[in-house]
Amino acid sequence: MELHFIELPKFNANKEGNAFVELLTDSDVFNNNKLTADIDMLKVWALFLKKPESLGIRKLEKRIKEVKEAKDELLEISADEKNRTLYEMREHALYDRISALSSAKKKGIELGLKKAQKEVKKAQMEKERAQMEKERAQKEREKAQMEKEKAQKEKEKAQKEKEKAQKEKEKAQKEREKALTKIENSIVKFYKKGFSIEELSDNFDLPIKEITKILEQYHL
């Protein structure tokens, strides 16, 4: 339990108390005798302890339930000396309550500051993570672009090799046709000179059936 010492003599009940009461009776603070905003209860209890019979307390006890209860009990104690001890206990409880309110207010500020610092740190971490994600995505895009360009070059290279192979095939076909035509001309030439099909087959190392087919093309 934390203890807070409040110097009541420094609290001007006439000046500060009345000004505070005027603030509390504002319609923005109360509506139908119900609180609509947070108020400084430390000042309320300080005023109560300093001047429980003041006009300000009479106004506040009509609006704040705790003040009304404390005032009723104070009147009862005043009428019955036997409850003096109970009054003193209640007085200590009020002081403890004031101390607790002050401590809670301080802790609330500290917690708010810590929470704000955590939020800032969290936001910074999220910003850094987003930046890393952005850089990673950029690298992946660049890598994908390089792979695309590489694939395009390989495709173009494969196309050129295909065209080159096609040209070589056509060239070989022409050379084969040229060589075959030369052989056919020689076969026809020697056949006309009197060589038999068997002799032509032996000399040109071709089957007799192939020799016969060539000669038929030339109607021989």
Of 19-33, 83-97, 180-194, where does mean pLDDT reach its minimum? Answer: 19-33
pLDDT number for residue 159: 92
d(CA 188, CA 69): 139
Highest mean pLDDT among 136-140, 180-184, 198-202: 136-140
Query: b/e for 20-54, b at 16 or more Cβ within 10 A?
Result: bbeebeeeeebeeeeeeeeeebbbbbbbbbbebeb
pLDDT at 26: 47
Q: What pLDDT score does 59 carry?
A: 82
Instruction: Name the DSSP class of 26.
Output: S
